[in-house]
Amino acid sequence: MILACFIHSILSIYLQRSLSSPNLPLKENTPSGIRIMGILGLIFAFMLLMSGFVAVTIPAEQMKDLLKQLPPEQQASIQSDMFKLLGKICLFAGVVFILNINLSFRFLRQWQELHQGKEEDRE
Protein backbone atom coordinates (compact mmCIF):
# COMPACT_ATOMS: atom_id res chain seq x y z
CA MET A 1 0.00 0.00 0.00
CA ILE A 2 2.78 2.43 0.79
CA LEU A 3 4.24 1.67 -2.63
CA ALA A 4 0.96 2.89 -4.16
CA CYS A 5 1.46 6.23 -2.36
CA PHE A 6 5.00 6.45 -3.74
CA ILE A 7 3.90 5.66 -7.31
CA HIS A 8 1.01 8.11 -6.96
CA SER A 9 3.46 10.83 -5.93
CA ILE A 10 5.67 10.19 -8.95
CA LEU A 11 2.69 10.28 -11.32
CA SER A 12 1.50 13.50 -9.66
CA ILE A 13 4.90 15.08 -10.28
CA TYR A 14 4.51 14.30 -13.99
CA LEU A 15 1.02 15.81 -13.87
CA GLN A 16 2.26 19.00 -12.20
CA ARG A 17 5.07 19.26 -14.74
CA SER A 18 2.55 18.93 -17.56
CA LEU A 19 0.32 21.60 -16.00
CA SER A 20 3.19 24.06 -15.54
CA SER A 21 4.60 23.41 -19.02
CA PRO A 22 1.72 22.64 -21.41
CA ASN A 23 4.16 21.76 -24.21
CA LEU A 24 5.28 18.70 -22.18
CA PRO A 25 2.72 15.99 -22.94
CA LEU A 26 1.42 13.63 -20.31
CA LYS A 27 1.58 9.91 -21.05
CA GLU A 28 -1.71 8.34 -22.03
CA ASN A 29 -1.91 6.01 -19.01
CA THR A 30 -0.87 8.58 -16.37
CA PRO A 31 -4.40 9.88 -15.55
CA SER A 32 -5.75 6.38 -14.97
CA GLY A 33 -2.64 5.49 -12.98
CA ILE A 34 -3.19 8.53 -10.77
CA ARG A 35 -6.78 7.44 -10.15
CA ILE A 36 -5.92 3.81 -9.36
CA MET A 37 -2.92 4.59 -7.17
CA GLY A 38 -4.89 7.39 -5.53
CA ILE A 39 -7.66 5.02 -4.53
CA LEU A 40 -5.14 2.54 -3.12
CA GLY A 41 -3.42 5.41 -1.33
CA LEU A 42 -6.74 6.53 0.15
CA ILE A 43 -7.34 3.02 1.46
CA PHE A 44 -3.90 3.08 3.09
CA ALA A 45 -4.56 6.56 4.52
CA PHE A 46 -7.87 5.46 6.03
CA MET A 47 -6.13 2.44 7.56
CA LEU A 48 -3.60 4.82 9.11
CA LEU A 49 -6.39 7.02 10.42
CA MET A 50 -8.25 4.11 11.97
CA SER A 51 -5.18 2.61 13.62
CA GLY A 52 -4.11 6.04 14.87
CA PHE A 53 -7.58 6.71 16.24
CA VAL A 54 -7.61 3.38 18.07
CA ALA A 55 -4.12 3.98 19.47
CA VAL A 56 -5.01 7.44 20.74
CA THR A 57 -8.39 6.57 22.23
CA ILE A 58 -7.52 3.30 23.97
CA PRO A 59 -8.13 3.62 27.74
CA ALA A 60 -5.14 3.33 30.09
CA GLU A 61 -6.62 0.32 31.91
CA GLN A 62 -7.12 -1.57 28.68
CA MET A 63 -3.58 -0.68 27.59
CA LYS A 64 -2.21 -2.15 30.84
CA ASP A 65 -4.20 -5.34 30.26
CA LEU A 66 -2.85 -5.61 26.72
CA LEU A 67 0.73 -5.07 27.90
CA LYS A 68 0.36 -7.85 30.49
CA GLN A 69 -0.33 -10.31 27.67
CA LEU A 70 3.07 -9.63 26.11
CA PRO A 71 6.29 -11.44 27.07
CA PRO A 72 8.15 -9.71 29.94
CA GLU A 73 11.02 -8.42 27.77
CA GLN A 74 8.54 -6.71 25.43
CA GLN A 75 6.53 -5.26 28.31
CA ALA A 76 9.55 -3.26 29.45
CA SER A 77 10.17 -1.76 26.02
CA ILE A 78 6.59 -0.66 25.26
CA GLN A 79 5.13 2.30 27.12
CA SER A 80 1.60 3.64 26.79
CA ASP A 81 2.89 7.17 26.07
CA MET A 82 4.94 5.82 23.18
CA PHE A 83 1.88 3.99 21.86
CA LYS A 84 -0.20 7.18 21.96
CA LEU A 85 2.59 9.12 20.21
CA LEU A 86 2.66 6.48 17.48
CA GLY A 87 -1.11 6.86 17.15
CA LYS A 88 -0.75 10.62 16.71
CA ILE A 89 1.92 10.09 14.06
CA CYS A 90 -0.40 7.67 12.22
CA LEU A 91 -3.24 10.21 12.39
CA PHE A 92 -0.99 12.95 11.03
CA ALA A 93 0.35 10.75 8.22
CA GLY A 94 -3.18 9.67 7.26
CA VAL A 95 -4.40 13.26 7.06
CA VAL A 96 -1.35 14.29 5.01
CA PHE A 97 -1.87 11.40 2.57
CA ILE A 98 -5.56 12.24 2.16
CA LEU A 99 -4.82 15.92 1.53
CA ASN A 100 -2.07 15.06 -0.96
CA ILE A 101 -4.23 12.63 -2.91
CA ASN A 102 -7.17 15.04 -2.92
CA LEU A 103 -4.90 17.77 -4.26
CA SER A 104 -3.61 15.54 -7.05
CA PHE A 105 -7.19 14.61 -8.01
CA ARG A 106 -7.95 18.33 -8.30
CA PHE A 107 -4.86 18.84 -10.45
CA LEU A 108 -5.98 15.92 -12.61
CA ARG A 109 -9.42 17.49 -13.04
CA GLN A 110 -7.77 20.79 -14.00
CA TRP A 111 -5.52 19.01 -16.51
CA GLN A 112 -8.51 17.21 -18.03
CA GLU A 113 -10.41 20.49 -18.43
CA LEU A 114 -7.41 22.08 -20.14
CA HIS A 115 -6.90 19.01 -22.30
CA GLN A 116 -10.57 18.92 -23.36
CA GLY A 117 -10.44 22.64 -24.14
CA LYS A 118 -7.44 22.10 -26.43
CA GLU A 119 -9.22 19.26 -28.23
CA GLU A 120 -12.31 21.44 -28.77
CA ASP A 121 -10.12 24.25 -30.15
CA ARG A 122 -8.58 21.86 -32.68
CA GLU A 123 -12.00 20.81 -33.97
pLDDT digits (tens, 9 = 90+) for 69-87: 888 888 777 777 888 899 9
Residue at 24 is within a domain: no
Residues 6+ apart with CB under 8 A from 41: 1, 4, 5, 8, 97, 101
Tell me if residue 43 falls in helix, strand or coil. helix
CA angle 115–121–123, rounded 5-degree value: 110
Which pTM was predicted? 0.82
Q: Which domain holds residue 100?
A: 2-18+33-122
- pLDDT tens sequence for the chain (123 residues): 788 889 999 999 999 998 888 888 888 899 999 999 999 999 999 999 999 999 999 888 888 888 888 888 887 777 778 888 999 999 999 999 999 999 999 999 999 888 787 666 665
Residue at 50 is within a domain: yes
pLDDT digits (tens, 9 = 90+) for 56-66: 998 888 888 88
Contact indicator for 107, 19 with CB cutoff of 8 Å: yes
Residue at 104 is within a domain: yes
User: How many structural domains compose the chain?
Assistant: 1
Residue at 28 is within a domain: no
Residue at 92 is within a domain: yes
Residue at 97 is within a domain: yes
Number of Cβ atoms within 10 Å of the Cβ of 37: 22
